[in-house]
Amino acid sequence: MPIIKHIPIYSAPKRLLAYVANAKKTEKTLVTGLNCSENFSETYEDMKLNFEMYANERFFKRSIKTETAETEKQKIRLHHYIQSFKPGEVTPEEAHRIGVEWAEKVFGKNHMVLCATHIDRQHIHNHFAVLPYDLDGKHWHANKTTLKMCREISDKIALAHGLEIIEKPKYKAVHKYGENKARKEGTSWKQKLCDDIDEIILNPKVLSVDDLAKELERQGYTVRKGKYLSVKAKPDRKAIRTYRLGDGYSLEHLEYRIANKNQEMPLAAVLRYTGLQREYALCIRQIQIQLYRRPEQDRLHCATYGEVLKTSELLRFLSSHKIDSAEDFRKTAADADDEIEDLKNRKADLIHKIADEEKLIGDIPKYFEILERKPLLAKDVRELSKYSYIKDAGVRFPEDENIRKEVLADLKKQLDKTENRLSVSIERGKEFHSYLKVYEDRAKSDYDILLEQAKTEIENIRRAEEQEKQKEEISEQQRNERTSSTAR
């Protein structure tokens, strides 16, 4: 079930080429250059020459954060496509063959594409660094149409290789043409509402959605808060639910934004985590940095508030359940499944015992009625043989029926407890698998890229830990010196 994702690269193309061809991730053999070398340095020089010939700009660009960054449309240096597979779905060699076949069918024989298969994670994935101009100067445009074509070609190749595909992919809603036009022209009342909400959120006195609603009302809006937050801009205009304004404006996203005030997780907070939790905290920090720091075009990954919220919830989940590795995560989910299966078996066993007990209690009166017949005829003996299980169950007197009713009542109590535990376990299992899916979906896309970006952060953490250790050693040394001085 390969998934295709596109990331535009506006600056530092050599860094991407080095990442794609990283020998530690590709085992040096899973790299193929289409109209370029498999050596990223040589590929960079070839791509640089071709780009500068047709783009009339320098290929290398350290950053797009220039004075004209907001008004001048930036040219893409490289198109970065990622093709991810489910864990265990393909071998590295087959994934690489599929990737090269996909690149040739999508970009043709005249494009410069560096293809590499990364196997450093449980899910195998292909990376493609594509130069925007082909050898004849024809420009590749990355848009919804071409991305749809890329995914359709990927699906066809996957089916030919016997892989599954996503039959009905979900698409994100976008603004309609009229609203987009109004926003570009600066006449959109929805955009003004978004701007007002953004400004109010950053007010230090606004600490809740209720505070936000009061401030909106003070500015002349009519606000109604229930399951959704609805805002009316003018008396004669229909109210709009804020989630329709776009990413970051649903009730839960507004609560998150108010609580965090658009500030990324500090390194001090990251330091509190270890193992997988620290790794994931670093990824969250990178996503937050991409979301909160502008300009938007400079972001390697188009993060959303929904994404940040989901990943933050996952970190809290990992921490509360003391999950320190991907293996721990999968084992915990598997243990939850085993617990559910055990409880289901326990429930089925109790239901069977209750049915047997109810039958026994119902047959006891008939059993003793036959026993009391004098004399016992042959037909009575034959009928008694049908109730032999009652005697085997230890029933000797009619009064024993009350004992069996107590047993039945106890079994029903056990069944109630088991059903409650099963219900809780099923919900717990759903929660584990839901969060595991969030983690694996992230790992399938740009998890490793975010970690690569976080190298500087990791280095800062290492330095901070060393400084903290040195402070402790100095403090310990000073305490020892004071103790020695006092003793003298």
- Residue 296 is predicted with a pLDDT of 46
Of the ranges 47-61, 107-121, 134-148, 465-479, which one carries the lowest mean pLDDT score? 465-479
| Chain segment 246-281, per-residue pLDDT in tens | 878 888 888 888 887 777 777 677 777 888 888 788
Half-sphere exposure of residue 436, counting CA atoms within 13 Å on the CB side? 19
| Chain segment 321-333, per-residue pLDDT in tens | 888 888 888 898 9
CA–CA dist 209, 229 (Å, integer):
9
Residue 61: pLDDT band by 50, 70, 90 thresholds?
A: low
- Residue 208 is predicted with a pLDDT of 92
| Chain segment 335-356, per-residue pLDDT in tens | 999 999 999 999 999 999 999 9
> Above 90 in pLDDT, residue 320?
no
> Above 90 in pLDDT, residue 96?
yes
> Above 60 in pLDDT, residue 123?
yes
- Residue 301 is predicted with a pLDDT of 45
> Which residue ranges make up each domain of the chain?
3-160, 177-260, 326-440
- Percentage of residues in the chain having pLDDT higher than 90: 31
Of the ranges 103-107, 265-269, 300-304, which one carries the lowest mean pLDDT score? 300-304
- Residue 114 is predicted with a pLDDT of 95
Give the chain's mean pLDDT.
83
- Residue 448 is predicted with a pLDDT of 67
Residue 150: pLDDT band by 50, 70, 90 thresholds?
A: very high
| Chain segment 391-402, per-residue pLDDT in tens | 888 888 988 999
> Above 90 in pLDDT, residue 467?
no
3-160 folds as BirA Bifunctional Protein; domain 2 (3.30.930)
> Above 90 in pLDDT, residue 412?
yes
Q: When comparing pLDDT for 25 and 122, which is higher?
A: 25
Structure-token match 């999968």, residue found: 330
Mean per-residue pLDDT for 448-460? 68
Of the ranges 65-69, 191-195, 292-296, 333-337, which one carries the lowest mean pLDDT score? 65-69
> Above 50 in pLDDT, residue 65?
no
> Above 70 in pLDDT, residue 293?
no
For residue 292, give the nearest of 322, 316, 317, 257 by alpha carbon. 257
Q: When comparing pLDDT for 87 and 173, which is higher?
A: 87
Three-state SS sequence of the chain: CCEEEEEEECCCHHHHHHHHCCHHHHCCCCEEEECCCCCHHHHHHHHHHHHHHHHCCCCCCCCCCCCCCCCCCCCCCEEEEEEECCCCCCCHHHHHHHHHHHHHHHHCCCCCEEEEEECCCCCCEEEEEECCECCCCCECCCCHHHHHHHHHHHHHHHHHCCCCCCCCCCCCCCCCHHHHHHHHHCCCHHHHHHHHHHHHHCCCCCCCHHHHHHHHHHCCCEEEECCCEEEECCCCCCCEEHHHHCCCCCHHHHHHHHHHCCCCCCHHHHCCCCHHHHHHHHHHHHHHHHHHCCCHHHCCCCCCHHHHHHHHHHHHHHHHCCCCCHHHHHHHHHHHHHHHHHHHHHHHHHHHHHHHHHHHHHHHHHHHHHHCCCCCCHHHHHHHHCCHHHHHCCCCCCCHHHHHHHHHHHHHHHHHHHHHHHHHHHHHHHHHHHHHHHHHHHHHCCHHHHHHHCHHHHHHHHHHHHHHHHHHHHHHHHHHHHHHHHHC
- Residue 444 is predicted with a pLDDT of 63
Mean per-residue pLDDT for 228-235? 87
| Chain segment 191-221, per-residue pLDDT in tens | 888 888 888 988 889 999 999 999 999 999 9
- Residue 166 is predicted with a pLDDT of 66
- Residue 457 is predicted with a pLDDT of 64
- Residue 290 is predicted with a pLDDT of 72
Mean per-residue pLDDT for 380-390? 87
Residue 414: pLDDT band by 50, 70, 90 thresholds?
A: very high
> Above 60 in pLDDT, residue 153?
yes
- Residue 173 is predicted with a pLDDT of 47
Of the ranges 122-126, 216-220, 453-457, which one carries the lowest mean pLDDT score? 453-457
- Residue 211 is predicted with a pLDDT of 92
Residue 72: pLDDT band by 50, 70, 90 thresholds?
A: very low
> Above 80 in pLDDT, residue 179?
no
Q: When comparing pLDDT for 141 and 469, which is higher?
A: 141
Mean per-residue pLDDT for 374-380? 86
Q: When comparing pLDDT for 1 and 231, which is higher?
A: 231
Mean per-residue pLDDT for 171-190? 63
222 - beta bridge partners?
A: 232
CA–CA dist 430, 353 (Å, integer):
29
- Residue 182 is predicted with a pLDDT of 66
- What is this structure's pTM? 0.49
